[in-house]
Amino acid sequence: MRKQLADSKEKADLRLIYLALAHMMKYRGHFLYEESFDIKNNDIQKIFNEFISIYDNTFEGSSLSEQNVQVEAIFTDKISKSAKRERVLKLFPDEKSTGLFSEFLKLIVGNQAEFKKHFDLEEKAPLQFSKDTYDEDLENLLGQIGDGFADLFLVAKKLYDAILLSGILTVTDPSTKAPLSASMIERYENHQKDLASLKQFIKNNLPAEKCVEVFF
């Protein structure tokens, strides 16, 4: 319904608009941001390059940008978060698994990072993008290390979001104004087709009594 309302040029019934808004608020999350989301700008490699550029400018002596590595295939692969971090880290031979860059990679793939030792803090400073307390945790951290690091965390979050959304978006119609809703519709329709194929396969290859056991 939300996709239809977004793409339709006809005047919509206010009751349908209310239902769509109510659903968005009930199941709020990334789908609240469809208006500001641009599929064409969801370029993981480009955002990663932006991240390492800011990283190099933030930390004296860092030269990650000189490596010219390709990471999009790793970040979008169907492997664990830790495996993604390890594979990307291997592309940078001079970076240690216990180093600051590795800690940022933890953040980017969706794991929790700890910055206490890297910024020589007295107390633990854990961060994780998916946590409800992330904004507050980041504010507390920046209060100790300075706002000069804000852009680095901002672009790291941007990269995390791009990776997360790449696993959701499968839209084949770039003209839609509701890409996330359209993607969920496509996934639902594909699921229905797969389920129908599975049922037909079972009916064709199992006796009737076994079909009943499977379906009921």
CA distances for 48 relative to 55, 76, 191, angstroms = 10, 13, 32
Considering the domain architecture, whether residues 29 and 129 belong to the same structural domain is answered as no
Considering the domain architecture, whether residues 155 and 185 belong to the same structural domain is answered as no
Considering the domain architecture, whether residues 77 and 184 belong to the same structural domain is answered as no
**Percent helix, strand and coil across the chain, each to the nearest 5:** 65, 0, 35
Specify the range with the lowest mean pLDDT, choosing from 8-22, 50-64, 125-139.
Answer: 8-22
Angle between helices 208-215 and 179-205 (to 10 degrees): 150
Give the residue numbers spanning the domain of 61.
43-166
127 Cβ partners below 8 Å, 6+ apart? 107, 112, 113, 114, 115, 134, 137, 138, 141, 153
Ramachandran sector of residue 43 (left: φ over 0; alpha: ψ -120 to 50; beta: rest) = beta
In this model, does residue 6 exceed pLDDT 90?
A: no
Considering the domain architecture, whether residues 84 and 149 belong to the same structural domain is answered as yes
Considering the domain architecture, whether residues 51 and 104 belong to the same structural domain is answered as yes
Segment 92-121 shows an average pLDDT of 97
Write down the pTM of the prediction.
0.65
Considering the domain architecture, whether residues 6 and 21 belong to the same structural domain is answered as yes
Considering the domain architecture, whether residues 48 and 145 belong to the same structural domain is answered as yes
Considering the domain architecture, whether residues 36 and 112 belong to the same structural domain is answered as no
Considering the domain architecture, whether residues 201 and 117 belong to the same structural domain is answered as no
pLDDT, averaged across the chain: 81
What's the domain count of the chain? 2
- Mind listing the pLDDT tens digit for each residue in 139-195? 999 999 999 999 999 999 999 999 988 877 655 555 555 555 555 556 566 667 777
- The partner residues of 114 in beta bridges, in order of sequence, read 126
Considering the domain architecture, whether residues 68 and 134 belong to the same structural domain is answered as yes
- Tokens 């978060």 belong to which residue? 81
